[in-house]
Structure 1
Amino acid sequence: MASRNLLLESELRRRVDGEVRFDDGSRALYSTDASNYRQVPVGVVVPHTVEAAVEAVAVCREQDVPVLSRGGGTSLGGQCCNAAVVIDWSKYCDRVVEFDPDARSVTVEPGIVLDTLNARIAEHDLMVGPRPATHDHCTIGGMLGNNSCGSTAQAFGKMSDNVLGLDVLTYDGDRFWAGPGGGDGVPAQMTARLRSIAERYGEEIRRRFPAIPRRVSGYNLDALLPENGFDLANALVGSESTLVTILRARMRLVDRPKARAMVVLGYPSIFEAADAVPSILPHKPLVLEGLDDKLIGFEKRKHLNAEALRLLPEGAGWLIVMFSGDTQDEADARARDLAEELGHAVRFFDDPRREDELWQIREAGLGATAWVPLEPDTWPGWEDSAVAPEDLGSYLRDLHRLQEEYDYAEASSLYGHFGQACVHTRIPFDLVTAEGIRKYREFVERAADLAVSYNGSMSGEHGDGQARGELWPTMFGTELMPAFTEFKAIFDPHERMSPGKLIRLSGDEPYRMDENLRLGTDYAPPHLDTHFAYPHDRGSFARAALRCVGVGKCRHEKGGVMCPSYRATREEKHSTRGRARLLFEMVNGGVIDDGWRSEAVMDALDLCLACKGCKSDCPVNVDMATYKAEFMAHHYAGRLRPRAHYSMGWLPVWARLAAIAPDLVNFVTGTPPLDALVKRIGGITRERALPPFAAARFSRSYRRRGPHGDGHRGEVLLWPDTFTDNFHPEVGVAAVRVLERAGFTVRLPRAAACCGLTWISTGQLGVARKVIERTLGVLREEIRAGLPIVGLEPSCTAVFRADAAELMPNDLDVRRLRDQTRTLAELLDEHGVEPPPMDRDVVAQPHCHQHAVMRFDADRRLLEAAGARLTVLDAGCCGLAGNFGFEDGHHAVSMACAEDALLPALRAAPPHALVLADGFSCRTQIEQAQIGRRPIHLAEALDEAWREAVSGALPRQARRPEPVPADRTPGSR
């Protein structure tokens, strides 16, 4: 087998224009999806072009090796994993081949993301109709593979209803356009065999295929019937890469809704909400979604969408109904008509911002129902069944009773696309014991019987995959199974397209729902001694590595913070999900068998910026920054580390030494070739200018000056972090003036101390712990006195608010420190301090760690109260990310992250807008990008505004001197 795979890899590398990967790390990355299943692939091909993928299939055919196409890798039924060569379309094959707005059609390659496609055609007010919750990272190819739907399928139908034609390739090498009437270039013998299936099994297809909006189970044999136009493209949609490889797709486009309005209806229970669905459907809503009280309770427990949850009307079951219109008045009128007709527990919304907030409650469904604190773990398996809308209430009651019988109901929320009676739920299956797996299997079999008794579908959106493929006879009957077998044999007679999934030609059953489990009875991860305590994962790093549910939110291309390195590289291994998968494999000793010493894992973590975006943006709060620090601590234990770990990891020490003679240090770091030598020794990229040290440290200057003001609001301790203290002391000076004007007496720590950030970010966790312990000793009096501690640098503040408590969870002083630490904005906001007037445009770049841990809400309130015309950038990570952007080999990715959204947004901002960036990294990145912007800290902005209010002077953008470019000395500026 090994020699055969070597030959296959060699041929693929020789003939395919693309990336060919047979290394253990790549195979581990693609071993699972968002399902319960795991199968290690033979290898991975990332083609540069569609034609390269055609050649890859040809090589696999010559070597008799199976093939599996993969889009976003978010399938919940196991569709995206198999022992095959995986073709990943998502990195390169994302072109719009042809767009005809007059014909309302677009032809695309399969790797294009839905939101990306819709953005490219938005100026024509057209879009692809179906919109799954994964719309910002799912690919068109994956949507076609699973026959995706989403909320807007209520108005626009499934993917099969929106496809005009498919450019497909069979494993045997036939390539043709499938479409209505068969298509173009379809081999005559193939057409004849397909028509024969329709003729011989037509009546059984009509009898056994339920006439409901959301039948996604089974091959679409009904599309071959004469009354449905013998539409071969429609028939191939939803075949989950078991029949053909989709190379290009021609899609029907629909009008983008010009205006929308929302009604939210409250009911005593989710069952009564379901009962109301048929009375709403005649109003023809764009979207009709259901939510139950468990989902809302889980979101509250996980602190999701807090503001939006307060907008819900009274009830324990809710319907979200959205209407569209050509004008806002038309949309509003349709929504008000429904609200007036139903008239109870109704809230009407026509503010797009409020509508988006409420919609996030629904889109957060998967994340809200997975890894809920104090609840058992839940899994897919019976997560998207569907019935007729008029049967929904009765079906939900019966499904709930079945869940109660198996003790699953308490942790299982019921929600979904109620307008088409598609029900989502995650269930607390026990997938690690023989009894638990037997119970899981029995439940799913009985749930399938229940759905069929309602003439429903086992899958209403996600497809069957391995989770439900073996149950096709339950739904379609034994009489129809030969038709499915013949259909498979026409396109894949040798069973080389994702073999074992959905159906087999050999007479054997397809893979059972309870084999190839990612967990299973042999799941027994070792207990690993760790530095962090993982309090949210029962103290287990193995459980933390299992946390990722595979939904792929980290692969979205715009908005939020997560995941900057994926956006820069479009590489699965540089996504949060990819790294989590590798850590899972490492812990369990599967493909990755060298544990903490794994170079494959280190390679994937190397480009993790430790931005902590995933800690807040990931639906299940994967905290890759913490996992990276933990891994590096073990990976480098007892051996030499990268040079940057000694230079930037020990920055607080070097900064204190530099303070003895800052001018001399600045001369050395600003003078070629001395600065080149310093960078080489320190493992710092030559493209970066080293920030100059301040002439005088903030803390030293403050101690000479001492506290001022009346202090009527009491005392606070201002934390002099390394960056403020040694590089930007003017931030500390401004903060002191702001706090004193606000009525606080300011004190500083009585001795030098550090939060340990740089040691944490470089994985030197033993040192970090000692540093924090020393800091606790320095601050013990203030901590135990309950003194508020004000942090100015977000990353250092986040250490006190999160990292320290996870390193030392049993230390009461660490907990007190966590609870007493505030940002400047939080302190002023909590005490009701009226900010100075700031009548100007302000553009704010929230620091990633602030976004993840402290949030930006207090800053927003403060600035808006000051009268600022505030724009809070949704631009993601600046790309510098502490030591990351300074490390040798990271500069290109660092700048790609900055150019993704941040720098373009700042270039487009009003010329005189004030740019706020509390993070030292953010300010440094913006300054060194040399785009003509001078970012300042909130403390400086407030201090300046207060002084302007007194003096009437014109505002200034900043007072910080120009940064020193890499090729200039301090004296030259």
Structure 2
Amino acid sequence: MTAVEASPPRGAAAGDERGVELEQLLMRDLEGEVAFDDYSRHLFSRDASMYAIRPVGVAFPRDADDVAAAVTAAASLGVPVVPRGAGTSLAGQTVGDGLVLDMSRHMGRIHWIDPDARTALVEVGVVQDDLNVAAATHGLMFGPDTSTSNRATIGGMAGNNSAGSGSVRYGMTIDHIRSLDVVLSDGSRALFEPVDQTERERRAAQQTLEGRIYRGLPEIVDRHARAIAEDFPAFWRRAGGYRLDRLADDTAFDLAKFVVGSEGTLAVATQALVDLVPKPARTVFAVGHFTSVPAAIAATGDALECGPAQVEMMDKTILDLSRRKIEYADLGKSLEGDPAALLFVSFTGDDEAELVANLERLDALWRKNGHGYHTLRAVTPAQQSALLKVRKSSLGLLMASSVGTLRPLAFVEDTAVDPTHLAEYTARFKTLLDGHGLSAGFYGHASVGCLHVRPFVDVTDPAQVATMRAVAIEVKDLVAEYGGANSSEHGDGLVRSEFNRSIFGDDLYEGMREVKRLFDPDNVLNPGKIVDAPTMTDNLRDPALPP
């Protein structure tokens, strides 16, 4: 094993003796590289969120043995472990004061694809697009479709329970995980998969951490049965908290699905057996033009009646930003007039005539019900190119619109309500932001009631930081009125975890704390996420550093 720099222990030498000893242990025990220099620690102090925490060091495991060795070494010294994929987290899940495990550098092998079973066995560092390229040779793909698919890893998607634009048809990552090979908080290894009662009891008899987990979880479920049945948000599209509801139903006892969305706080996944879905041969789009965001949302119901694969909304803020960029100039040539919002509705399948008929049916419904003033049809790849380029770049366009330290921040960007409530909910959301003097871009997945709203905030201004937290609390309460989810696909992380007691109630929240203690009694794995979290305004990026 070689260090990144051939020199004495570096980053930790300034005063963190844990880091000095940990670097030595990792250099001895790992095949992959380690990096404790100041530059690497600075690079890995950030992800795609608004947070920054300088880690003790970074390790780049080559395989599951390296992961187990790293967790064992860190745990022996009381150093937390922060698993990380591509670092695309918007909620701060992958930053922390500990040892960052970068699973993306080496653990990107696709072991096999079984086209008959429609499954694939992959390491957690496999990038979503790479899996889709390999699966496409068999006419298959991975169902969840994130906007960061060219860099997001399967492990990160599992840790976060990612969803994306196609979730109205394909659900979330949790719906596509068959089994997970994991490293537990003491460095031991386990295979999480669905088991029947006999097998659960056999595993529970082991005098190991895995055995304690299989013994303890049913007891937690029993103790908190009422809260599990009644206190989870009603809406299905959820990516927050621990999924005790998945253990309380009548299906097999499945720890693989249980730890999906746990953000690396319960176990470190090293390998996943995932389900694949048939890849449609053709995709066509209807792009509705509307005079306002409420008008676009009101048209979503008609779109859902037609069985779409996706219904995505984009507001004028993002459209105007795209017009200022030469690489997106072709979009303006395709649009009719100056819409205040667009709805992108896609239909997928193998029969183009049937798909075009769906476009015609949707157009007729919108005309009949007075929705929109124009519908653009994009059937060929050439017609779709400019539209798709902008649709997938909404976040990038917003971020590029930052002015100095005034940036569109992700702190209330992940709520979701039943689409039947989306129009009223969005109107109240907009009124709430107006009341605080905040502007924002609105875009996202109208088909599943999830809009990504990013208010512009200057975190160098203490008054605006206070406003940001006040807005987060008001939005959390607003979404609860509609039975929605405060975290619908981006997770809890540092930005939303502090509100989980309020969201889930004392009984259910205490059950989740018991889960954390059962899996991780020494609080080694990604502490401060989901339960027992700091205030959302702690650990904001240092405004004195470059953005």
Distance 1:214 1:309 in 2: 33
Q: Is the strand fraction higher in 1 or 2? A: 2
Matched residue SS, 1:262: strand
What is the deviation of 1:430?
2.5
1:395 equivalent in alignment to 2:419: no
Aligned match for 1:333, one of 346, 350, 357 = 357
Partner of 1:2: 16
Of residues 185, 194, 214, the one that matches 1:191 is 214
Residue 467 (structure 2) aligns with: 439
Q: Which residue of 1 aligns with 2:375?
A: 346
| Structure 1 residue 59: Cα displacement | 1.4
Structure number having the greater helix percentage = 1
Unaligned runs of 5+ in 1: 505-509, 526-544, 547-973
Asked whether 1:50 is paired with 2:64, we answer yes
Alignment of 1:203-602 (within 5 A): 203-314=226-337, 315-343=339-367, 344-372=373-401, 376-409=406-439, 412-504=440-532, 510-519=533-542, 523-524=543-544, 545-546=546-547
Contact 2:50 2:540 survives alignment (8 Å) = yes
**Inter-CA distance 498–189: structure 2 relative to 1 (3 Å threshold):** closer
Shift, 1:195, TM fit? 1.5
Matches of 1:136 and 1:90 in 2, distance apart?
A: 13
Q: Partners in 2 of 1:460 and 1:227 — Cα distance?
A: 24
Q: How does 1:903-942 map to 2 (within 5 A)?
A: none
Shift in alpha-carbon separation, 1:374–1:29, aligned structure 2, 3 A: closer
Of 87, 97, 111, which residue of structure 2 is paired with 1:83? 97
Q: How far is the alpha carbon of 1:304 from its aligned partner?
A: 4.8
Q: Which amino acid aligns with 2:423?
A: G
Q: CA deviation at 1:336?
A: 2.0
Deviations 1:54-82 (A, max 9, x none): 11112112222111110000111111110
Secondary structure of the corresponding residue to residue 33 of structure 2? strand
Matches within 5 A, 1:27-66: 27-66=41-80
Confirm or deny: 8 A CA contact 2:90 2:410 kept in the other structure: yes
Partner of residue 107, structure 2: 93
Q: Does the 8 Å contact 1:50/1:109 carry over to 2?
A: no
Shift of 1:271: 1.1
- Between the aligned partners of 1:207 and 1:62, the Cα distance in structure 2 is 40
1:25 equivalent to 2:55? Answer no
In 2, Cα distance between the equivalents of 1:373 and 1:128? 33
Structure-1 separation of matches of 2:326 and 2:132:
31
CA distance in 1, matches of 2:245, 2:253: 9
Equivalent in the alignment of 1:129: 143
Rg larger for: 1
C-alpha distance in structure 2 between counterparts of 1:116 and 1:486, whole Å: 37
In the TM superposition, residue 503 of structure 1 has moved relative to its aligned partner by 1.2
Amino-acid identity (%): 34
Question: Helix, strand or coil: the match of 1:246?
Answer: strand
**Contact (CA 8 Å) 2:33, 2:61: kept in 1 or not?**
yes
Do the aligned residues in 2 keep the contact of 1:264 with 1:313 (CA within 8 Å)? no
C-alpha distance in 1 between matches for 2:403 and 2:310: 33
Q: CA deviation at 1:213?
A: 3.8
Query: 2: CA distance between counterparts of 1:309 and 1:78?
Result: 35
SS in 2 for 1:426: strand
Which structure is richer in relative contact order (CA contacts within 8 A, separation 6 or more)?
Answer: 2
- Separation in 2 of the partners of 1:374 and 1:167? 44
Q: Structure 1 counterpart of 2:109, which letter?
A: R
Do 2:68 and 2:188's aligned partners in 1 also have CA atoms closer than 8 Å?
A: no
Query: CA contact under 8 A between 1:118 and 1:127: conserved in structure 2?
Result: yes
Alpha-carbon separation, structure 1, partners of 2:418 and 2:86: 30
Q: Which amino acid aligns with 2:273?
A: R
* Superposed displacement of residue 203, structure 1: 3.0
CA distance in 2, matches of 1:390, 1:229: 32
Q: Greater shift after overlay, 197-206 or 94-103?
A: 197-206
Equivalent pair of 1:65/1:496 in contact (CA under 8 Å): yes
Letter in 2 for 1:470: E
* Structure 1 Cα separation of the partners of residues 437 and 483 of structure 2: 26
Q: How many Å apart are 1:266 and its aligned residue?
A: 1.7
Note if contact 1:430-1:437 (Cα within 8 Å) is conserved in structure 2.
yes
Cα pair 2:67 2:183 within 8 Å, conserved: no
| C-alpha distance in structure 1 between counterparts of 2:233 and 2:419, whole Å | 12
Measured at CA, do residues 518 and 228 of structure 1 come closer, stay the same or move farther in structure 2, by a change above 3 Å? Answer: farther
**Paired residues of 1:223 and 1:229 also in contact (CA < 8 A):** no
Cα distance in 1 between the residues matched to 2:436 and 2:94: 29
The normalised TM-score by structure 2 is 0.91
Once residues 458 and 403 of structure 2 are traced to their aligned partners in structure 1, the CA distance between those partners, rounded to angstroms, is 16
Q: Which residue identity does 1:384 align to in structure 2?
A: D
Please state whether the residue corresponding to 1:124 is helix, strand or coil: coil
CA shift for structure 1 position 199? 2.5
Who is 1:105 aligned against?
A: 119
Letter in 1 for 2:238: R
SS of the residue 1:145 aligns to = helix
Secondary structure at the counterpart of residue 37 of structure 1: coil
Scaled by the length of structure 1, what TM-score is found?
0.52
Q: Which moved more, 1:338-347 or 1:442-451?
A: 338-347
Q: Distance in 2 between matches of 1:250 and 1:211?
A: 29
- Asked if the contact 2:302–2:365 (Cα under 8 Å) also holds between the matched residues in 1, the reply is no
**Conserved 8 A contact 2:240-2:530:** no
Q: Relative to 1, partners in 2 of residues 1:117 and 1:239: Cα closer, same or farther, differing over 3 Å?
A: same
CA distance in 1, matches of 2:502, 2:332: 40
Q: Deviations over 1:173-195 (max 9, x none)?
A: 33222122378857343223212
1:203-228 Cα distance to aligned partner (Å, 9 max, x none): 32232223324211212221112235
Say if 2:177 is the partner of 1:163.
Answer: yes
Secondary structure of the structure 1 residue equivalent to 2:289? strand
Residue equivalent to 1:144: 158
Determine the structure 2 residue equivalent to 1:175. 189
User: Secondary structure in 1 aligned to 2:496?
Assistant: helix
Q: How big is the shift at 1:374?
A: 6.4
Which amino acid counterpart does residue 319 of structure 1 have in structure 2?
L
| Contact 2:492-2:529 at 8 Å conserved across structures | no
Compute the RMSD of aligned alpha carbons.
Answer: 1.8
Offset from partner CA, 1:319-357 (integer Å, 9 cap, x none)? 100001122222222222212222352121211122232
Map 1:451-850 onto structure 2 (within 5 A): 451-504=479-532, 510-519=533-542, 523-524=543-544, 545-546=546-547
Contact 1:160 1:237 in 2 (8 A): yes
Q: Secondary structure at the match of 1:367?
A: helix
Structure 2 counterpart of 1:934: none
For the Cα contact (< 8 Å) 1:44–1:88, is it kept in 2? yes
Equivalenced residues, count = 517
Helix, strand or coil at the partner of 1:370: helix
SS at match of 1:68: strand
In 2: Cα distance, 1:374 partner to 1:82 partner: 28
| Amino acid in structure 2 at the alignment position of 1:144 | A
Q: 1:834 matched to which residue of 2?
A: none
Letter in 2 for 1:175: R
Distance (Å, rounded) in 2 between the aligned partners of 1:105 and 1:146: 21
Q: Is the 8 A contact 2:69 2:187 kept in 1?
A: no
